[in-house]
Structure formats: structure tokens, C-alpha cells
């Protein structure tokens, strides 16, 4: 049996990641696949609750300290994610280490320093970057109350994301309709799953950022 594929959706705030993740999970399940949704930050754990307090401005933390907490929040999910992938379940993941590096680098931390704690995480098989110009993101109901929902920071975040573009990335134009984006994302995901079913050498890729650092 082929291992599951790790399908990541990344992008700036308001690009439509959560909607597209939910639609992708549903469509793949309807096609008979075993698939689960993961979301980062995962706010229910002890570390996740600290991150939530920071994002909602009820707690102040040093930029490096919060960066390491976001990374720890991914590491604490890693064993369960690996188990599911090895059992043949596909994972649709809403944000991951690219968000970690993009947000902290946009705040002024060093890019390589930011990559280091996430080095060695499982690497996605497919990263769909939902790209939305910041002015358009702002028009979508305006940014909310959370710490990072500010135009200037979001612009920097988008720039860093585009610098991180790795070989498994597909850039999706998030100005398109929800349904058009869904079709594009579903096609890419199904193609990746088919490739996995035909692959001979198929170990999990546990080398996130190893080639860059
Ligand atoms: P979300 O739950 O997807 O709306 O994400 C909450 C906010 O946290 C959003 O502004 C993006 C930011 N974020 C997500 N992951 C990370 C990370 O690893 N590091 C930092 N600094 N920010 C992150």
C-alpha cells in the first residue's frame, strides 16, 4: 500500500486556505480516499494555547520565543502525522513551516535562523501557495483583530513566502472564484496521489529545509 501524501496549503491571511482545505478534504473523501485535515497552529495543545494567547494579544512574548513555540507546535504533531501518512492516510495541512519562516522573517528575524528549528520536519509532497495581493486581501472584509492582520506586515510576509518557493510548490491565483480554485487544487492533489500510487521508492521525506540551511 502506498503511503499517504502530505498536501499543504499555504498563503497570507484571507487567501482562502481554510475554505479550500475543507473543500479538498470533502472531495477526496467522496472519491474514496482516506484523508484527514491538520491545521497549524494547532491551538488545543498547551503550546497551542500559549500561541493563541499571543495571537489574540492577551500575552506578550519575545519574537524568538514565539517563533520557537510555533515550531514546537509542529514538532509535537509530527509523530501522529507520520503514523497516519505511513498507514496510507493523506493529510491536507492548513499552514506549516513556510508560514513559520515567512511571518517571523517579516517581523525582522534572520531567515536562516528562522528555518533552523523546523529543519528535519516531514516535507510536504505538494505545497499549494494561495497567492493574493495584499490590497485584495484587505478588501475581503478587512483584516481582523489578531496580531498579524496588518497590511504592511502581510505585504512583507507575501514577499518572504515567494522567496521560499521550493520545488514542490504550485502557485494558485487566489483572486479566482472559490470553485475555480477548488478544481485546480483538487486536480493537483489527485495527480500527486496518483504519482504516489505508482512510485517505487516512497519513503517519507524528513528533510524540511535541509537543502537550504
Ligand atoms: P490562522 O489560524 O491560520 O489564521 O493563523 C493565525 C496567525 O498566525 C496568522 O496570522 C498566521 C500566523 N502564523 C501561523 N503559523 C505561524 C508560525 O509558524 N509563525 C508565526 N510567527 N506566525 C504564524
Task: Report the pLDDT value the prediction gives residue 14, as an integer from 0 to 100.
Answer: 92
Nearest CA to 136 out of 173, 96, 186 is that of 173
Q: How many angstroms does the Cα of residue 51 sit away from the middle of ligand 1?
A: 9
Please answer whether residues 20 and 181 qualify as being in contact, where contact means their C-beta atoms are separated by less than 8 angstroms.
Answer: yes
Instruction: Decide the pairing of beta strands 169-173 and 126-131.
Output: parallel
The per-residue pLDDT for 213 is: 58
What residue ranges define each of the domains in the chain, with the CATH number in brackets? 6-198 (3.40.50.300)
* Residue 103, ligand 1, Cβ within 6 A: yes
Q: Which portions of the chain are predicted below pLDDT 50?
A: none
Quick check: 106 and 58 in contact, CB under 8 A?
no
Distance 161 CA to ligand 1 centre (A): 13
By C-alpha distance, which of 98, 105, 90, 160 is closest to 128?
Answer: 98
Amino acid at each position: 500500500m502506498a503511503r499517504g501524501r502530505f498536501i499543504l496549503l499555504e498563503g497570507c491571511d484571507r487567501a482562502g486556505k481554510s475554505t479550500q482545505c475543507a473543500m479538498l478534504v470533502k472531495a477526496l473523501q467522496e472519491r474514496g480516499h482516506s484523508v484527514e485535515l491538520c491545521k497549524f497552529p494547532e491551538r488545543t495543545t498547551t503550546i497551542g494555547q500559549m500561541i493563541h494567547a499571543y495571537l489574540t494579544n492577551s500575552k506578550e512574548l519575545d519574537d524568538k520565543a514565539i517563533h520557537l513555540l510555533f515550531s514546537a507546535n509542529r514538532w509535537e504533531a509530527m509523530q501522529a502525522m507520520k503514523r497516519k501518512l505511513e498507514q496510507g492516510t493523506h493529510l491536507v495541512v492548513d499552514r506549516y513551516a513556510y508560514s513559520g519562516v515567512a511571518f517571523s522573517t517579516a517581523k525582522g528575524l534572520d531567515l536562516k535562523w528562522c528555518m533552523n528549528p523546523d529543519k528535519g520536519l516531514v516535507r510536504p509532497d505538494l505545497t499549494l501557495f494561495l497567492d493574493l495581493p495584499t490590497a485584495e486581501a484587505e478588501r475581503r472584509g478587512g483584516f481582523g483583530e489578531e496580531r498579524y492582520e496588518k497590511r504592511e506586515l502581510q505585504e512583507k510576509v507575501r514577499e518572504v513566502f515567494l522567496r521560499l518557493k521550493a520545488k514542490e510548490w504550485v502557485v494558485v491565483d487566489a483572486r479566482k472564484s472559490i470553485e475555480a480554485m477548488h478544481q485546480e487544487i483538487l486536480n493537483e492533489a489527485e495527480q500527486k496521489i496518483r504519482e504516489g500510487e505508482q512510485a517505487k521508492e516512497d519513503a517519507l521525506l524528513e528533510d524540511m529545509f535541509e537543502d537550504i540551511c
